Structure 1
Amino acid sequence: PAPPALSEAAKAKLSELDIVIYQYKICPFCNKIKALLDYYGVDYHVIEVNPLTKAQTKAVTDYKKVPVANIGGEIVTDSPQIVRVLKAKMAEADDVDFAGFFSEAAEEWTEFADKKLAVLLFPNITRNWNESYQAFSYVNDVPTFSSMDKMSNLAIGSTAMWLAQGKLKKKYGIEDERDALFSAVTKFEEALGDNAFLGGANPNMGDIAVFGVIRAIEGMDAFNDLQSETKIGPW
């Protein structure tokens, strides 16, 4: 069955919530939230957070990570909780049943995206200094960052990420980060089988979560290698 679609009236009602997502552009959990909103055509605004100072989120919460969401004036932290709140708001706006889209199987693959796939991205985009610098280069395109913000994030942020790579690999027992990433994506591909999506003919939340996580590294060397070494590209 097709996933429930939101009516234009529901989208208009949700737009009144003035949803704001505080993010790092390369954060997989932030991209998961945006993928859900994009899929249902729900309007939202993005505020890019300075990774070094976190000034933007400090103004609204003591929570030290992203994403942070402002949903109708309510500050919500932690991506699973943000998804739960958005699900409730969408259901209220249109009185639709999201049971299939957020099925038990979909929840399992959403957890896979959060706890298995997402944690592999950091060691893959920081496996050497050049790739770490490449990952942090997005700050150059943030119009709200000053020249000093951009220079400091590129110099300090990319170096700190590169130096932390080995510690993270040890924490999660990762030997070869590229092989681990390819294996995780291959596991997802095998779950698809002959279906277009985990949800069958249409995506469910598991598909959206995996898509959002992978989209976080689009354009980077790790993403290009993933495209060439797996079959995830057409999906």
Structure 2
Amino acid sequence: MSCFRLATAVTRPLQLNSTSPNAFRHVQIARRQLTTFSKKKSGNGTFKLALLGAGVGAATGSIYTIYSNINDRNSHKEHEHMPPKVIGELPDVRITKRFVNPKDTSGLEIVLFQFQTCPFCCKVRAYLDYMGISYSVVEVDAVLRQDIKWSSVKKVPMVLIRQRDGQYVQMSDSSAIISLIATYLNDNRKDIGDLAQFYPQISYFDDDGKKRQDILNKYFLMYQDRTPKNLTKEIEENERKWRNWADNHLVHLISPNCYQTLGESLETFEYFSQAGEWDIHFPKWERDLMVYCGAVAMWGISKILKRRHALSDDVRSHIYDALDKWTRELQKKKSRFMAGKQPGLSDLSVYGVLSSMEGCQAFKDCLQNTGIGKWFYDVKEVVQKNRGQLRRERLEGIAPMS
């Protein structure tokens, strides 16, 4: 993350362009008028000029003070910390399905707003499923986004988590969501809403001077005085490193590979429709709109992303290199997972990103040209084993959970 840059207001004296003929003529006229005025009323004129100067000075000072205050307020806004929002009650949204685990002892009530095949949404689900947490799902229309119109945050994944007082804390950003829930599961002495205060939204300037927003501490778990046994600084740093890598490198290779041609983009969206059960959750016209408009839009966006991330025309080679890097690290560790005998947060993050493209041709090519397959399906096996039972809420004949 770029270092924060404090904005400072700089005032410059107004300079007269001496090369301008009009400016020079106006100065001469002003001097003659001032001289005439001084001759006519020398005593009285001096006092009036002094009064005029004091007035101009006071006005200038006031304007400068107002300008500085406005600039200071804007500067504060550019670097402010915004805590997660809390809403009084669950909005009127369409719960499409729930994953219910009878063995879940977390006490958490979570509603996940998602696109089924969004890489960041897949990361959150991978973590919740692996931990055996029950949660509800709102499948958001990727085009119209009707189910998040109530929110000022217009992106997914987003979660609402019930606090002890009955209100809901609203969190976005997949990594921050995972870190918050992992922190709570490690030590639930504090309410989930109190722990969420460790993950405020911040704004800052990047190296190009552009204003950005991010979530503070999103790769950190707040263990406080209950650090897990056998957790070393090296293990923590390695986990944060690979979680960051999944968010800021691996995920940027998905779109250019899944949508590199219009035909492949349409094939990908047909898979998305099947995986997300769009024909069940949305009317046919809305499903077709999502498939065909989405395919064309993402095909165009993939070209932009390819240029933005400096990828060559051979986009497959970039994702092959990334997956080879991951598997080489596993080989160095001589372990089944990056975290050891069981998947850790970095394993679940990388798995979640890759699972978003599992049904696409790009993923099939990755299986054939890299050694990612064994690790991927090992993680998938554990995740599916721990996941709660699926209950579809909007299928006819299946009553919603009370």
Deviations for 1:169-228, whole angstroms, at most 9, x for unmatched residues? 000111121111111010000111122111122221111111111111111101111111
- Tell me the equivalent position of 2:104: 11
In the alignment, what sits opposite 2:285?
A: 148
Alpha carbons 2:106, 2:133 under 8 Å: kept:
no
TM-score, L = length of structure 1 = 0.88
Could you tell me how far apart the structure 2 residues matched to 1:11 and 1:228 are?
37
1:78 aligned residue: 173
Partner of 2:27: none
Q: 1: distance between equivalents of 2:160 and 2:110?
A: 6
**Higher mean displacement: 78-87 or 100-109:** 100-109
Shift of 1:9: 9.7
Q: Could you say which residue in structure 2 is the equivalent of 1:191? A: 329
Task: Tell me the equivalent position of 1:47.
Answer: 138
Alpha-carbon spacing, 1:55–1:9, altered in 2? closer, same or farther (3 Å): closer
- CA–CA distance in 2 between the matches of 1:38 and 1:9? 13
1:201 matches 2:341: yes
2:226 is the counterpart of 1:131:
no
- Give how far 1:74 is off: 1.4
Taking the aligned partners of 1:98 and 1:174, their CA distance within structure 2 comes to: 40
Query: Which residue of 2 is the match for residue 20 of structure 1?
Result: 111
Distance 1:71 1:136 in 2: 30
Partner of 2:239: 106
Distance 1:221-1:9 versus aligned 2 partners, 3 A rule: closer
**Mapped pair 1:217 → 2:312:** no
CA-atom RMSD in angstroms: 2.2
SS in 2 for 1:50: coil
Question: What secondary structure, in the 3-state scheme, does the structure 2 residue paired with 1:56 have?
Answer: helix
Which among 122, 126, 147 is matched to residue 35 of structure 1? 126
Alpha-carbon shift at residue 64 of structure 1 (Å): 2.3
User: What residue number does 1:67 align with?
Assistant: 157
Give the equivalent residue in structure 2 for 1:89: 184
SS where residue 170 of structure 1 aligns? helix
SS of 1:45's equivalent in the other structure is strand
Q: Is the 8 A contact 1:36 1:208 kept in 2?
A: yes
Identify unmatched segments of 5+ residues in structure 2.
1-100, 163-167, 190-222, 376-402
Task: Answer yes or no: is the 8 Å Cα contact 1:10–1:90 preserved in 2.
Answer: no
Percent identity over the alignment is 29
SS of equivalent residue, structure 1 residue 231: coil
Question: Residue type of the partner of 2:273?
Answer: V
**What SS class does the counterpart of residue 20 from structure 1 fall into?**
strand
For the residue of structure 1 that corresponds to 2:104, the secondary structure is helix
Q: Residue 52 and residue 9 in structure 1: after superposition, are their counterparts in 2 closer, same or farther (change >3 A)?
A: closer
Distance (whole Å) between structure 2 residues aligned to residue 215 and residue 155 of structure 1 = 22
Asked if the contact 1:132/1:162 (under 8 Å) is kept, the reply is yes
Which amino acid in structure 2 is aligned with residue 39 of structure 1?
Answer: Y
**Distance (whole Å) between structure 1 residues aligned to residue 135 and residue 119 of structure 2:** 17
Q: How far off its partner does 1:93 sit?
A: 4.1
The residue type paired with residue 238 of structure 2 is: A
**Equivalent pairs, count:** 225
Distance 1:221 1:93, change over 3 A: same
Higher helix fraction (1 or 2): 1
SS in 1 for 2:249: helix
TM-score (normalised: structure 2): 0.53
CA offsets 1:20-55 (integer angstroms, 9 cap, x no match): 111111111111111111111111122111111111
Deviations 1:125-161 (A, max 9, x none): 1011122112222235222211111111112111111
Spell out, residue by residue over 1:50-69, the C-alpha distance to the aligned partner (whole angstroms, 9 max, x if none).
1111111222x222221111
